[in-house]
Amino acid sequence: MYVVNSREMRAIDHYTIEQIGIPALVLMENAGRAVAEEAAKLAGGDSRRFAILVGKGNNGGDGIVAARHLMEFGNEVKLIYATDPATFEHEAAIQRDIARKLNIPYENYSEGSPPIPWRDYDVIVDALLGTGSRGAPRAAYAKLIDEANGSGLPICSLDIPSGLDPDNGGVHAPCIRASCTVALAFSKRGLEQQPGADYAGRVIVRAIGIPKAAAEQQGVHTFRIEEPLLSDTLGLRNYEQRSSDTNKGSFGHVLVAAGSLAMSGAGLLCAKAALRAGCGLVTWALPESWLPSIVGQLPEIMLRGMSDQGLGDWSRITPQALIELSEKKAALVFGPGVGRFTDDTAWLRELWEGTSCPLVLDADALNMLSGSSSDSGSGGFKAWPKRSSPVILTPHPGEMARLCGKSVKDIQMDRIATARTFAEEHGVTLVLKGAHTVIASPAGDVFINPTGNAGMATGGTGDVLAGITASLLAQGKTAIQAAALGAYLHGAAGDRVADSRAYKASLIASDIIEQL
Ligand SMILES: NC(=O)C1=CN([C@@H]2O[C@H](COP(=O)(O)OP(=O)(O)OC[C@H]3O[C@@H](n4cnc5c(N)ncnc54)[C@H](OP(=O)(O)O)[C@@H]3O)[C@@H](O)[C@H]2O)[C@@H](O)CC1
Ligand SMILES: [K+]
């Protein structure tokens, strides 16, 4: 499903109205009707009392239409205007006049108004500010938002919660805390990123007559991952279907290079997740001195001890040894639990240049790459030679901050833009982890993953994701397919674990592997 920013939405509206010829009033009627239906569902029955908070723009116009339909459904409604309705223009002014002729009750609210008697209402519809909103809500808008949040009533926001930045998910003070948000035509970027996603409540996207072709025509290339999208946009139709005439050699051999004595579990989780995600074979390359302690733990996985001079870590293992082992492998994942060592950035560069299979870099491998970026004058790993096969990087916000030389706060402020820019500039597929994981391709396509839960913020879940992603690559998926499907399946498995437990936060990383 398309996810748009306010500029794209304006262009899509304009194209639909001017080029396709669907009148703005028709779109507004469809929008108001859709919101009325969803608000009525939230209210849970007939004859409920709705306060409709109305701003001066088209969001307010949609709200007046919603009021009309709610009244038609048998409810009581009252319009509360945050700006003198005499100043309304265009479609909003037309809706204001219709409401007057229908004697829909209203009041003009201003900064000096006494508090609204909220006990006279059951549900609030928030139609103050939509995608035309700029900056923190001002004057009467701000006061009304504070009052509505303090009322204790369920709030249905129209398009976005008023006070939300529609483009990056940041929230101004104050911002409506909605029970549900009815996004019109397409989801908005602000609804798909934190903290906006929390303020929006349940997001329901409703069609209002704007054709999908309009988004395509305007070049929108940000999507939320969902089952139809996996098949339509990512070309993953029947991604689980296999021919019956196959063998383990048909589904790729993953090489996992991970783990050190202190963090052997990272390698174990990564290798096991790779196998569980469907590839034919997994070899786990690990420092040889502690290999004996692993024997028998993962009977399905082949172990390869790497000569480590008895240290138990990667500091004495040569990149050449791993390069040789990677020959004929369908994917290599490097990084989970490997730690840092002297000259590891140069070590990683040798691996980068010497291997020809698709590469997934996670955890400490990402910190090695950051070492390259901080190496002044080298141009960072952007200047490393282009590889013939793809690279997927899977940073969490802290690792991303180091890769970009920015703060975590800067990264989190606009995850979509950060991920897209980085992927385009560095020619890699990027998986920026965290709530609503963002996956960006070198071509600039961005996919937002809706699956997953807060219980997954626990050690080892990243190692599992790296293993799943490499496994999908080995099975012949393209980098963007493997990265998007990997994040989706990882989160979906995590949601199944959470659903099956008495205490959702008790999820641990190996549970995810078992639910794949
Ligand atoms: N076009 C169409 O056909 C369709 C439109 N649709 C609907 O339109 C919505 C977008 O409508 P929009 O562009 O009119 O902007 P919207 O958010 O209602 O209000 C902006 C007004 O508020 C004001 N204002 C801004 N910031 C403020 C602040 N911080 N604090 C206080 N005031 C502030 C600002 O006025 P100003 O202060 O600049 O005079 C501006 O005039 C969209 O979300 C969807 O609901 C859909 O149904 C699809 C079809
Ligand atoms: K709104």
Whether residue 240 lies inside any domain: the answer is no
Rounded Cα distance, 320 and 116, in Å = 73
Residue-wise pLDDT tens digits, 362-393: 999 999 999 887 655 566 888 899 999 999 99
**Does residue 271 share a domain with residue 315?**
yes
Closest CA to 212 of 175, 181, 187, 191: 187
Q: Is residue 169 within 8 Å of residue 197, measured between CB atoms?
A: yes
With respect to residue 407, please indicate whether it lies within any of the assigned structural domains: no
Atom 40, ligand 1: residue with shortest CA distance: 57
Is 499 labelled as part of a ligand binding site? no
Q: Phi first, then psi: what are they for 140, rounded to 5°?
A: -60, -30
Residue 429 lies in a domain: no
Amino acid residing at 310: G
Nearest to 439 by CA among 480, 383, 385: 480
Is residue 257 located within the same domain as residue 134?
no
Mutate which of 18, 89, 131 for ligand 1 pocket (most atoms within 8 A of beta carbon)? 131
Write out the two tokens for 395.
Answer: 């940073």
Q: Establish whether residue 406 lines the binding site of ligand 1, counting it when its CB lies within 6 angstroms of any ligand atom.
A: no
Beta bridge partners, 332, equal: 255, 359
| Judgement on whether residues 263 and 352 belong to the same structural domain of the protein | yes
Asked if the structure places residue 235 within a domain, the reply is no
Closest-CA residue to 253 (of 276, 268, 275, 285): 275
Q: Which residue from 74, 196, 171, 61 is spatially nearest to 125, judged by alpha carbons?
A: 61
Please indicate whether residue 272, judged by its CB atom, sits closer than 6 Å to ligand 1: no
| Ligand-binding site membership of 130 (annotated) | yes
Has residue 406 been placed in a domain?
A: no
Is the Cα dihedral 335, 370, 476, 1 positive or negative? Answer: positive
**182 with 254, same domain?**
no
- Written as six digits, the tokens of 311 are 């240290």
CA 255 to CA 283: how far, in whole Å? 5
Please check whether residues 206 and 272 belong to one and the same domain.
Answer: no
Asked whether 29 lines ligand 1 (CB < 6 A), one says no
Say which CATH number the domain at 456 has: 3.40.1190.20
Tokens of 289: 């001195």
Distance from the alpha carbon of residue 331 to the mean position of ligand 1, in angstroms: 49
HSE-up (13 A, CA, CB side) for residue 506: 6
Closest ligand 1 atom to 129 CA: 17
One domain, residues 57 and 122:
yes
468 C-alpha vs ligand 2 centroid, how far in Å?
A: 39
**Distance of CA 178 to CAs 56, 117, 123, 152, 203, Å?**
20, 19, 11, 11, 10
Whether ligand 1 lies within 6 angstroms of the CB of 495 is answered as no
pTM of the model: 0.94
241 inside domain:
no
Same domain? For 208 and 328 the reply is no
- Rounded to an integer, what distance in angstroms lies between the CA atom of residue 380 and that of residue 366? 12
* Beta strand 49-54 pairing with 123-127: parallel
**250 annotated as ligand-binding:** no
Bond from prior residue into 450 cis (ω within 30 degrees of 0): no
28/157 same-domain check: yes
Please indicate, yes or no, if residue 401 is contained in any of the structural domains: no
Residues 204 and 268 in one domain: no
Closest ligand to C-alpha of residue 87 is 1
112 occurs within a structural domain: yes
Q: Using a 6 Å cutoff on CB, does residue 133 contact ligand 1?
A: yes
- In the reported structure, the alpha carbon of residue 165 is separated from the centroid of ligand 1 by a whole-number distance in angstroms of 12
Which of 9, 59, 206 has most ligand 1 atoms within 8 Å of CB, for mutation? 59
pLDDT digits (tens, 9 = 90+) for 72-89: 999 999 999 999 999 999
Token representation of residue 86: 């005499």
- Domain of residue 480, residue span: 250-392+452-515
196: nearest Cα among 399, 2, 3, 407: 3
Q: What is the CATH number of the domain that holds 185?
A: 3.40.50.10260
Tokens describing residue 129: 């500010």
Is the CB of 159 inside a 6 Å radius of any atom of ligand 1? yes
Residues 6+ apart with CB under 8 A from 396: 433, 434, 462
CB 334 within 8 A of CB 359: yes
Residues 169, 192: contact at Cβ < 8 Å? yes
Q: Do 28 and 164 sit in the same domain of this protein?
A: yes
Is the CB–ligand 1 distance for residue 132 below 6 Å? yes
pLDDT in tens, the chain (516 residues): 899 999 999 999 999 999 999 999 999 999 999 999 999 999 997 789 999 999 999 999 999 999 999 999 999 999 999 999 999 999 999 999 999 999 999 999 999 999 999 999 999 999 999 999 999 999 999 999 999 999 999 999 999 999 999 999 999 999 999 999 999 999 999 999 999 999 999 999 999 999 999 999 999 999 999 877 676 778 776 666 777 777 767 789 999 999 999 999 999 999 999 999 999 999 999 999 999 999 999 999 999 999 999 999 999 999 999 999 999 999 999 999 999 999 999 999 999 999 999 999 999 999 999 988 765 556 688 889 999 999 999 999 999 999 999 999 999 999 999 999 999 999 999 999 999 999 999 999 999 999 999 999 999 999 999 999 999 999 999 999 999 999 999 999 999 999 999 998 899 999 999 999
Rounded to 5 degrees, φ, ψ at 315 are -65, -25
The CB of 138 under 6 Å from ligand 1? The reply is yes
Q: How many domains does the chain have?
A: 2
Residues 363 and 456 in one domain: yes
**ipTM summary value:** 0.97
Give the distance from CA 133 to its chain's centroid. 23
- 209 and 87 share one domain: yes
Residues in the chain: 516
Peptide bond into 154 cis (omega under 30): no
